């Protein structure tokens, strides 16, 4: 039997110039709700990001990440930044890391903190276009999630209105070696939700019911995964999906991940709608978003020797 495929949902009614059919919007909301309950993972098509731009972005990141190291290091983090956040620029996982990838990390362009490669010359412009489009798509997905969760319109947007904590990475996973195929160890993401688009190499997998389901590359589609903040806000109604990347032999894999994030200074706790509103005790104690981000960053910079000491959202579980 073929392995199950994560659901694909058409968002075109939400991008329709005349407002889109209510019936088709309701169908999409229903499908996304089911996907968030069952998988915490789904793909979207007709999501506002032109396929041609996605292809171009993947080709440009491939070109840049194949440059000699000296050239890539011209885009290394400048060492100035906002302190609490991941530094913008090119970085490679240290050799001892279990994760075998390199990436270019980008913060919202308006912060003025990005370190862009000079070459390929059109890369900066394409990165900024992709970033800007994904912010817009993220706001549409928030609108859909409000409906899924029976929240007033704009509720999630108002929970965390500051978009300056979003970030994007253009990634390259190296070809698998004889002794290892891990590209990115199994994990959940620490933000609200994540968008991923990938080339045709494959390797992204999501855990469902104890089985790893491959996310089959579909040109033009964006993968969406529910992340920890949404899990906390919904008091575990929507689960942050566990996922990983497995490397193939003989070829690199290129992808983009965009982390739609809450404001670092935001106090995060289960929403009343999903606790007292339903007679349920909160499953998490509250925390400042940036405190959690810093603990997660520390997992990477100072990896604990025991895997059980890695900080995950369980750190705040009651």
Binding site for ligand AKG (CB under 6 A): 171, 184, 189, 196, 198, 204, 243, 245, 255, 257
Q: CA torsion angle for 211, 216, 217, 221 (degrees, to 10)?
A: -90
Residue nearest ligand AKG (C-beta atom): 255
Residue placing its CB nearer to ligand AKG in the complex, 146 or 227: 227
Residue 159 touches which member of Fe ion, ligand AKG, none, C-beta under 5-8 Å by kind: none
Q: Which two tokens stand for residue 28?
A: 């999409």
β-strand partners of 103: 91, 171
What tokens does 217 get? 């590359």
For residue 101, the minimal CB distance to ligand AKG (Å) is 8
Residue 171: name its binding partner from Fe ion, ligand AKG, none (Cβ under 5 to 8 Å by kind): ligand AKG
- Token reading at 150: 């029976």
Least distance between ligand AKG and beta carbon 255 (Å): 4
Name the one range near Fe ion by CB under 5 A: 14-22, 38-46, 74-82, 181-189: 181-189
Q: What are the distances in angstroms from CA 11 to CA 6, 62, 247? A: 16, 28, 30
Choose which of 99, 102, 142, 189 interacts with Fe ion (CB under 5 A): 189
> Angle at which helices 51-65 and 123-148 pack, to 10 degrees?
130
88 binds, among Fe ion, ligand AKG, none (CB under 5 to 8 A by kind): none
99 binds Fe ion (CB under 5 A): no
Taking the complex as a whole, how short is the minimal distance between the CB of residue 225 and ligand AKG, in angstroms? 8
Give the phi and the psi of residue 116 in degrees, each rounded to 5.
-95, 145
Cis omega (within 30 of 0) on the bond before 132? no
> By CB under 5 A, is residue 102 in contact with Fe ion?
no
Cβ atoms of residues 289 and 268 within 8 Å = yes
- Closest CB to ligand AKG among 160 and 255? 255
Task: For ligand AKG, give the closer residue by CB, 29 or 54.
Answer: 54
CA pair distance 225, 38, nearest whole angstrom: 12
Which among 231, 89, 224, 250 has a CA at the least distance from the CA of 169? 89
Q: Least CB distance from residue 153 to Fe ion, whole Å?
A: 29
Binding site for Fe ion (CB under 5 A): 189
């Amino acid at each position: 039997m073929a392995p199950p495929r994560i659901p694909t949902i058409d968002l075109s009614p939400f991008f329709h110039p005349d407002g889109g059919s209510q019936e088709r919007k309701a169908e999409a909301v229903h499908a996304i709700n089911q996907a968030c309950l069952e998988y915490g993972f789904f793909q979207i098509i007709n999501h506002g990001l032109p396929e041609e731009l996605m292809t171009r972005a993947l080709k440009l990141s491939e070109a840049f990440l194949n440059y000699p190291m000296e050239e890539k290091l011209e885009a290394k983090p400048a060492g100035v930044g906002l302190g609490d956040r991941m530094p913008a620029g090119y970085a490679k996982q240290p050799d001892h890391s279990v994760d075998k990838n390199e990436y270019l990390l980008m913060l919202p362009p308006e912060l003025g903190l990005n370190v862009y490669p000079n070459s390929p010359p059109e890369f900066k412009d394409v990165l900024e276009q992709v970033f800007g489009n994904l912010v817009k798509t993220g706001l549409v997905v928030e609108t859909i999630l409000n409906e899924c969760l029976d929240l007033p319109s704009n509720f999630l947007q108002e929970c965390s209105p500051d978009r300056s904590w979003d970030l994007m990475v253009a990634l390259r996973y190296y070809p698998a070696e004889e002794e290892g195929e891990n590209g990115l160890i199994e994990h959940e993401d620490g933000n609200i939700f994540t968008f991923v688009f990938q080339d045709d190499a494959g390797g992204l997998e999501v855990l469902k019911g104890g089985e790893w389901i491959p996310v089959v590359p579909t040109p033009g589609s964006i993968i969406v995964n529910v992340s920890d903040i949404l899990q906390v806000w919904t008091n575990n109604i929507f689960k942050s999906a566990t996922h990983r990347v497995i490397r193939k032999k003989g070829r690199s894999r290129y992808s983009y991940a965009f982390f739609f994030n809450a404001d670092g200074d935001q106090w995060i706790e289960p929403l009343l709608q999903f606790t007292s509103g339903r007679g349920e005790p909160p499953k998490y104690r509250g925390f400042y978003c940036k405190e959690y981000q810093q603990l997660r960053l520390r997992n990477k910079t100072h990896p604990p020797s025991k895997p059980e000491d890695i900080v995950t959202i369980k750190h705040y579980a009651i």
